[in-house]
Structure 1
Amino acid sequence: MATKDIPPFTLSDQSDLPLWVQLRDRMAYLINSGFYQPGEKLPTVRKYAADLHIAYNTVSKAYMGLERDGYVTTVRGSGVFVSDPGAFPREGGQADLLVEEFVKSCLEEGMAYDDIPKLVSKHIRKMKREHEEK
């Protein structure tokens, strides 16, 4: 069974997050979103490294992080496979926790639920503009 092509995405050298963390987070997102299904074989470390033009060790470290977090399982001699649902945090893990805390903080500040997405959109637009100006 052939593995899916690696979807295009960009890793940022300017990010405060190491490349392996960016890659791990992106792959966790792809698993959580259903792009990679439970039981599906992931591309090899070498393929990811070659396609993304990054070091083999960077991809290997991202895979180890995914395995440690329960997203994938390595089968010696066969490859890396997406774990069954429930074996990993389905709703985005850390990002969901951060959003929940953010919403709670906004509510404690007296904001209405309907105003929170507007605030987030405003900041996203601002950050996009700043990023595009670089």
Structure 2
Amino acid sequence: MWVQLRNRMAYLITSGFYKPGEKLPTVRKYAAELRIAYNTVSKAYMGLERDGYVTTVRGSGVFVNDPDAILKPAPEVDALVEEFVKGCLENGMAYDDIPKMVSSCVRRMKKDYEKAQG
């Protein structure tokens, strides 16, 4: 459910419903308005921040970033990802299994990198 909320909020930001610099409702207030769990909204906000849609200012709130400033992958990277997904599908993977595999691989690579650094 948090992914749906995150995606909806990202859409509202990119469509201009929420303006750059605008303060979003607090997690508690938004959870109460939507009648969903506090943790669901919190996780959606964290996803939005991770992806560059918002910035959290400790003690002040969560503010909308300029959609034009949000990091977008270079066309070459987008093409690499598309080819990767097509290759996975051609090798019998299901769409839903691809992100799980990628997450697992990224965690493993990050762990190996951190081990080599420290």
Cα deviation for residue 88 of structure 1 reads 1.8
Question: What is residue 52 of structure 1 aligned with on the other side?
Answer: 34
> In structure 2, what residue type is equivalent to 1:77?
G
Separation of aligned partners in 2, 1:55 and 1:81: 21
Cα deviation for residue 84 of structure 1 reads 2.2
Separation of aligned partners in 2, 1:70 and 1:27: 12
Separation of aligned partners in 1, 2:4 and 2:67: 22
Question: What is residue 87 of structure 1 aligned with on the other side?
Answer: 69
> In structure 2, what residue type is equivalent to 1:50?
A
Separation of aligned partners in 2, 1:77 and 1:23: 23
Unaligned runs of 5+ in 1: 1-18, 91-96, 102-134
What is the TM-score when the length of structure 2 is the normalising length? 0.58
How is 1:64-103 mapped onto 2 (pairs within 5 angstroms)? 64-88=46-70
SS at the partner of 1:86? helix
Q: CA 1:31–1:48 in structure 2 vs 1: closer, same or farther (change >3 Å)?
A: same
Unaligned runs of 5+ in 2: 73-77, 83-118
Q: State percent identity of aligned pairs.
A: 84
How is 1:1-134 mapped onto 2 (pairs within 5 angstroms)? 19-88=1-70
Q: Which has the higher helix share?
A: 2
Cα deviation for residue 89 of structure 1 reads 5.6
After the TM superposition, list the runs of 4 or more consecutive aligned residues in structure 1 that deviate by more than 6 angstroms.
Answer: none
What is the TM-score when the length of structure 1 is the normalising length? 0.52
